[in-house]
């Protein structure tokens, strides 16, 4: 056992789980892992208060896998997650940590996928079930015994589950499991609604609370670009046209992605190479040496492959794929801005990753400003500037050394010096688009779109909108209620149950305190108690729904 893995070795994990952790390259357990793993291993119920990005997935995955019996072909652990994306992320983590545990199977259960294969995987004995509450309740309607063998339950991001309106589904799920199970609840906040769940369904739970430390990276300018996942390569190529960098390291999640992006960059004439865990040590050293001395300008790497990489030339870090946690982000962008230099970090964010961007901003204590894709004019200006910079040093003594040759060539060809210079420029630029019309044809992305969902513009032209405002007949106001407005609506993926769950959760209200909820295309209206409304709106001022600020205000119809 190497010294760097001593931290995990001291946690009494199953040897096969420990071996998998070491294989991933993790060196030291995080604060939540150090505190939570012994509690869960000992079989206690637990309430963990920790933000996303603190390593909490491993904090419950490692001890639960250590307590699983691979010989029993039946569901033994249930992890509930509020969204499909989180469920898939958690399931992937379990699969990674179970790689050296033959016979352990993981199934992710979520809406939008066929139910048959999911139920079949559960019945075939997947020991780990990671599910969203809504889809799991659908399975329980088909087979009420599907959770009868569960011994370990984890509610991940419990506060988010309530904001999404899953309270009733959770009660159904609790009733379908043995009372003798171990229950673990993770939540960033512990409002009254979460505490009520813990009191009702957890037995003498231990409390673990982790304060997220702010990590500052002041020497580095940080910006992000919203982009669809399938446009990332095109976005990277467009950004590199206008970014003035000396050397750049780009981070992606997979080995294959390093090869694909490095090849795309080489095809465009960049001096680029891939760096991943499959590359031999001597080849890795050659890549790093080439980056140091200028034979390479761009390296596309995975987190593990970039460990220990220290190249003073690196002026830019580009997070092509979002890191899994804020600590990884801080480590990544720390590759630039060293030794008193300034650096620039660019982060590509897909619509589904907005929430992790907010977590990164909270952990670093810094705003990651948004930039737009450069338009065709900016790309053209950047190309001409690079061409100017490359030719300027050559002009100084060119006439003295090549003037006579120029006179002879123009005479032999029978053309003007201007025509010959233009022909040589065409050859030197190798067919690169250097007029505005050519660049516009050459650019596949819509500049300034920021990767915004394409259907948004189509919705804005629907006939139920006039003059930018939706026209609907007014709904009579319930007695004793005040109507409040939020800018969140259907176009933001918001449903009435999301608003209801968030307000119940953060406002400590009973269901009967809330009147009608009307979700429109670009905004929503909610009826709240008139009495004490200002105080209630104050309590809700920092509430977020689907990662976006709720910002409820009293609504006055003119």
Beta strands in 42-162 (DSSP E): 46-49, 77-80, 106-109, 128-131, 152-155
Q: In sequence order, which ranges of 414-508 are alpha helices (DSSP H)?
A: 417-428, 436-442, 455-459, 496-507
- Res 444: pLDDT: 55
Counting as low any pLDDT under 50, the low residues of the chain are 1-5, 446-473
Tokens linked to 240: 């590199």
Size of the chain, expressed as the number of residues it contains: 558
How far lies 305's CA from each of 183, 294, 329, in Å? 37, 20, 15
- Res 128: pLDDT: 96
Residues 156 and 130 sit within 8 Å (Cβ to Cβ): no
For domain 456-554, the CATH architecture is: 2-Layer Sandwich (3.30)
How far lies 118's CA from each of 108, 129, 130, 235, in Å? 8, 10, 11, 36
In this predicted model, what pLDDT tens digit does every residue of 200-237 receive, in sequence order?
Answer: 999 999 999 876 555 556 678 999 999 988 889 989 98
- Res 443: pLDDT: 59
In this predicted model, what pLDDT tens digit does every residue of 433-490 receive, in sequence order?
Answer: 777 777 676 655 544 444 333 333 333 333 333 333 444 445 677 778 889 999 888 8
> What gap in Å lies between CA 134 and CA 168, rounded to an integer?
10
Exposed/middle/buried for 552, CB within 10 Å: 0-12, 13-18, 19+?
A: buried
Report how far Cα 446 is from the mean position of its chain's Cα atoms: 22
- Res 463: pLDDT: 34
> What gap in Å lies between CA 124 and CA 130, rounded to an integer?
15
Beta strands in 292-401 (DSSP E): 298-301, 314-319, 343-349, 369-370
- pTM above the 0.85 mark? no
> What gap in Å lies between CA 374 and CA 346, rounded to an integer?
14
Sign of the torsion formed by the C-alpha atoms of 426, 431, 437 and 443: negative
Tokens linked to 107: 């199934």
CATH classification code of 3-209: 3.40.50.300
List the domain boundaries for the chain: 3-209, 220-373, 377-442, 456-554
How far lies 197's CA from each of 99, 168, 451, 498, 513, in Å? 34, 12, 39, 19, 20
Other beta carbons within 10 Å of 403: 11
DSSP letters for 177-193 = S-TTSEEEEEES---HH
H-helix or E-strand containing 519?
Answer: strand 517-519
CATH class of the domain comprising 220-373:
alpha beta
Question: Do 220-373 and 3-209 fall under one CATH topology?
Answer: yes
Bridge partners of 314, per DSSP, are 247
Q: In sequence order, which ranges of 370-415 are alpha helices (DSSP H)?
A: 376-395, 398-413
Place of tokens 């060196």: 27
């Amino acid at each position: 056992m190497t010294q760097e893995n001593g931290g995990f070795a001291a946690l009494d994990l199953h040897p096969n789980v420990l071996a998998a952790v070491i294989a991933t390259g993790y060196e030291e357990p995080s604060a939540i892992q150090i505190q939570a793993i012994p509690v869960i291993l000992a079989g206690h119920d637990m309430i963990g208060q920790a933000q996303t990005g603190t390593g909490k997935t491993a904090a419950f995955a490692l001890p639960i896998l250590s307590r699983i019996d691979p010989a029993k072909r039946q569901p033994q652990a249930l992890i509930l997650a509020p969204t499909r994306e989180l469920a898939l992320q958690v399931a992937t983590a379990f699969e990674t940590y179970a790689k050296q545990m033959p016979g352990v199977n993981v199934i992710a259960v979520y809406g939008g996928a066929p139910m048959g294969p999911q139920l079949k995987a559960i019945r075939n004995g997947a020991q780990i079930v990671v599910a969203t509450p809504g889809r799991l309740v659908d399975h329980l309607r088909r087979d009420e015994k599907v959770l009868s063998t569960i011994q370990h339950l984890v509610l991940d991001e419990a506060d988010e589950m309530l904001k999404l309106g899953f309270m009733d589904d959770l009660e159904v799920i609790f009733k379908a499991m043995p009372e003798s199970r171990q229950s673990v609840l993770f939540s960033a906040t512990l409002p009254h609604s979460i505490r009520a769940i813990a009191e009702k369904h957890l037995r003498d739970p231990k409390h673990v609370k982790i304060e997220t430390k702010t990590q500052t990276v002041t020497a580095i300018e940080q910006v992000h670009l919203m982009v669809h996942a399938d446009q990332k390569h095109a976005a990277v190529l467009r950004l590199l046209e206008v970014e003035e960098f000396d050397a750049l390291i780009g981070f992606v999640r997979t080995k294959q992605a390093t090869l694909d992006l490095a090849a795309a960059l080489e095809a465009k004439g960049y001096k680029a190479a891939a760096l991943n865990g499959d590359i031999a040590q001597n080849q890795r050293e050659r890549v790093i040496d080439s980056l140091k001395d200028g034979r390479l300008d761009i390296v596309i790497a995975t987190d593990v492959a970039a460990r220990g990489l220290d190249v003073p030339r690196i002026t830019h870090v580009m997070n092509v794929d979002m890191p899994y946690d804020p600590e990884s982000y801080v480590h990544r962008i720390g590759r630039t801005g060293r030794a008193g230099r300034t650096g620039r970090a660019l982060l590509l964010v897909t619509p589904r990753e907005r929430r992790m961007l907010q977590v990164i901003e909270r952990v670093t204590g810094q705003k990651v400003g948004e930039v737009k894709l450069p338009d065709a004019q900016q790309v053209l200006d950047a190309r001409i500037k690079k061409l100017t910079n490359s030719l300027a040093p050559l002009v100084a003594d060119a006439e003295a050394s090549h003037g006579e040759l120029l006179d002879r060539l123009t005479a032999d060809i029978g053309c003007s010096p201007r025509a010959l210079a233009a022909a040589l420029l065409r050859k030197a630029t190798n067919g690169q688009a250097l007029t505005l019309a050519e660049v516009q044809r050459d650019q596949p992305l819509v500049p300034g779109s920021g990767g915004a969902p394409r259907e948004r513009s189509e919705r804005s032209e629907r006939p139920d909108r006039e003059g930018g405002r939706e026209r609907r007949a007014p709904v009579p106001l319930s007695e004793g209620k005040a109507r409040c407005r939020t800018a969140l609506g259907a176009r933001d993926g918001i449903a009435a149950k999301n608003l209801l769950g968030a307000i119940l959760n953060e406002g400590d209200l009973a269901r009967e305190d809330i009147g009608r909820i009307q979700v429109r295309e670009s905004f929503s209206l909610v009826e709240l108690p008139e009495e004490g409304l200002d105080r209630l709106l104050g309590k809700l001022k920092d509430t977020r729904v689907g990662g976006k600020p709720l910002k409820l205000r009293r609504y006055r119809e003119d």
